Chain A
Amino acid sequence: MNGYLLFKPIVLATLFIKEQVKEPVALFWIVISPVVMFYLINYAKLPEGKLSYKYLDITSWFYAFVSSSVALFGLAFYIVGRRESGFLRSFVYTRSTKVIFLSGQFLAYSFMSVIYCSAFYGLTRFYFGVMGFSEFATIVGRFYICFLLFSIPSLLLTLIPMGFQNANTVFSIVSFVMLALGVVSISSSHPVLEVVSFFNPMWWANQIMLVGVADGLLVVMFVGVLFVFSLWMTYRFLLINPVWSRY
């Protein structure tokens, strides 16, 4: 295998990132909406003294939600979009092109996840005092694990033959349900909710943001294994033809 073949996913990821950056509305919305929500909730709920709370205790759910948005509406939704536009049918139909496409897509949204996390950190951290690089690096690391966690169901969702609009609706429902169940679980210890939380990726993402990678090593390893499995499943069963086409 020559160097160019290995280099292809990186070049493709660069082009995908360029495409994403040239569509600033989606970029802006995924970054800004959680930040605005964060300030609105804190303005309504937190008395002045609560600012002494640890930063991650207040923001962990927001980071979890942002990482889910990047996985669902970035990584997975763009796979559906490229299928429904006919792009996959035109160029991605062999084993090697599937590998290039999925690798490029994953690299692009790995990069975007770090950008989204950094933007959220930059726009909210100063509210709690001085920023620190080691704290920032820790948060980015945890956030990236959350992104991998949400990529598992997101990638598997792309294997369902849904059109663009239906995919958008389903992704929105999944995002909303995960968040709603996560929020409900904060103030309730009902046994049913505890069981539901166990199967809610948003709850696990919140735990990862709070506990960290070192203390949650088993969970992180489990996420890694499941992510590799879901990526392989996506490669193996990637839908090439648009759902709207007759093929």
Chain B
Amino acid sequence: MKRLVVSSLDVRYANRILFNKASFKIEAGSLSGLLGPNGSGKTTFFDVVCLLKKMDGGEIHNSFSTLLYLSQVVNTPPVLRMFDVFNMMMLFCSDTRVTQKHALGKIEKWSPGIAERYCEIWKKKSSLCSYGEKRWFFTLSLLSAHADLVILDEPTAGVDPEFRYHIWKCLEGAVAEGVAVLVSSHNVDEIVTHCDDFYMLSQQRLNRFTGAESFMSAYGAKSLDEAFIRAASHAKG
């Protein structure tokens, strides 16, 4: 089975240690979440996995053939329409041609009833799309590309509940087809609800959990948010 395994990861910026002997694993057909307070190193972790940043120690074994990464910052040429942006994106994201028909087929299968909204955005000028619409459009389009590992950095940030619902439906649909998806978020509820497992970035380690109960009991908390806050305060301490 294809998998990404990170072992004993060490990463530091100047004299600040972000990761100290951190470990992580994701397999094909699974949806993993990544939680952590602002500035704790979630994006840095993604950058390391995508070879955008060098690690100071540790090992990465990646047997996936195609990795796609949607970072937090996604700006599109404002004068182009979204179908041009889609075509531009696919030139970088897929070795084979991905058409609107292909993307629509997948998206409609994963989250029925969404195709019409997707087509509306497809025709819109990029500068007229809201931030949420762009993130939604990018996330779904990226999932329809031929990748076996997709990394999404806060795909639901700034997205309204309807689009957020469709994003999670599509993530789960892609995972059911064998894609491995790693997603970060500040919304603990959605990570716990939708992910097969999730990692909490605390004390420069990635602590793995498989459900709400184990997460709350690990930090002696009565709610998910309380558990996150306690883990985060450990991270800062």
Chain B residue numbers with a CB within 8 Å of A11 are: 87, 91
Chain B residue numbers with a CB within 8 Å of A19 are: 77, 79-80
Question: With A and B bound together, what is the CA distance between A93 and B43 in angstroms?
Answer: 15
Whether A89 and B91, one on each chain, are in contact in the complex, defined by CB atoms closer than 8 angstroms, is no
Of the stretches B44-52, B178-186, B190-198, the one at the interface is B44-52
Most central of A12, A18, A91 by chain B CB within 10 Å: A91
Whether A90 and B88, one on each chain, are in contact in the complex, defined by CB atoms closer than 8 angstroms, is no
Q: Mark B144-158, 1 if CB is under 8 A from A, else 0.
A: 000000000000000
Looking at chain A's contact residues, the main secondary structure is helix
CB-contact partner of B91 in A2, A12, A86, A241, under 8 A? A12
CB-contact partner of A18 in B47, B50, B84, under 8 A? B84
Whether B69 and A93, one on each chain, are in contact in the complex, defined by CB atoms closer than 8 angstroms, is yes
**With contact pairs A4-B97, A12-B88 given, residues A90 and B71 touching in the complex (Cβ less than 8 Å):** yes
A41 at the interface (CB under 8 A from B): no
B171 to chain A, nearest CB (A): 18
Chain A residue numbers with a CB within 8 Å of B51 are: 93-94
Chain A residue numbers with a CB within 8 Å of B69 are: 93
Chain B residue numbers with a CB within 8 Å of A92 are: 92
Whether A22 and B79, one on each chain, are in contact in the complex, defined by CB atoms closer than 8 angstroms, is yes
**With contact pairs A4-B97, A90-B74, A92-B92 given, residues A22 and B43 touching in the complex (Cβ less than 8 Å):** no
A5 at the interface (CB under 8 A from B): yes
Question: With A and B bound together, what is the CA distance between A93 and B151 in angstroms?
Answer: 14
Chain A residue numbers with a CB within 8 Å of B53 are: 247
Chain A residue numbers with a CB within 8 Å of B15 are: none
B50 to chain A, nearest CB (A): 6
B65 at the interface (CB under 8 A from A): no
Question: With A and B bound together, what is the CA distance between A4 and B76 in angstroms?
Answer: 23
Chain A residue numbers with a CB within 8 Å of B103 are: none
Task: Name the residue on A nearest B52 (C-beta).
Answer: A93
Interface residues on A, range: 20 to 34
Task: Name the residue on A nearest B85 (C-beta).
Answer: A15
Chain A residue numbers with a CB within 8 Å of B95 are: 2, 4-5
List residues of B (42-89) whose CB comes within 8 Å of A's CBs.
43-44, 47, 50-53, 69-71, 73-77, 79-80, 84, 87-89
B93 at the interface (CB under 8 A from A): yes
Interface residues on B, range: 20 to 34
Whether A100 and B80, one on each chain, are in contact in the complex, defined by CB atoms closer than 8 angstroms, is no
Whether B84 and A15, one on each chain, are in contact in the complex, defined by CB atoms closer than 8 angstroms, is yes
Question: With A and B bound together, what is the CA distance between A245 and B71 in angstroms?
Answer: 12
Whether A8 and B75, one on each chain, are in contact in the complex, defined by CB atoms closer than 8 angstroms, is no
Whether A86 and B96, one on each chain, are in contact in the complex, defined by CB atoms closer than 8 angstroms, is no
Q: Mark A6-22, 1 if CB is under 8 A from B, else 0.
A: 00100110010011001
Q: Mark A220-247, 1 if CB is under 8 A from B, else 0.
A: 0000000000000000000011100101
Task: Name the residue on A nearest B67 (C-beta).
Answer: A94
Q: Mark A78-95, 1 if CB is under 8 A from B, else 0.
A: 000000011101111110
Question: With A and B bound together, what is the CA distance between A23 and B78 in angstroms?
Answer: 10
CB-contact partner of A89 in B71, B79, B80, B84, under 8 A? B71
Question: With A and B bound together, what is the CA distance between A247 and B71 in angstroms?
Answer: 12
Chain A residue numbers with a CB within 8 Å of B71 are: 86, 89-90
B161 to chain A, nearest CB (A): 25
Known: A86-B73, A97-B92. 14 other contacts (CB 8 A): A4-B96, A11-B91, A12-B91, A18-B84, A19-B77, A22-B80, A85-B75, A86-B71, A86-B74, A89-B71, A90-B70, A91-B88, A104-B91, A242-B73
**What are 20 A-B contacts with C-beta separation under 8 Å?**
A4-B97, A11-B91, A12-B88, A15-B84, A19-B77, A19-B79, A22-B79, A22-B80, A86-B73, A87-B77, A89-B52, A89-B71, A91-B88, A91-B89, A92-B92, A93-B51, A93-B69, A100-B92, A241-B52, A247-B44
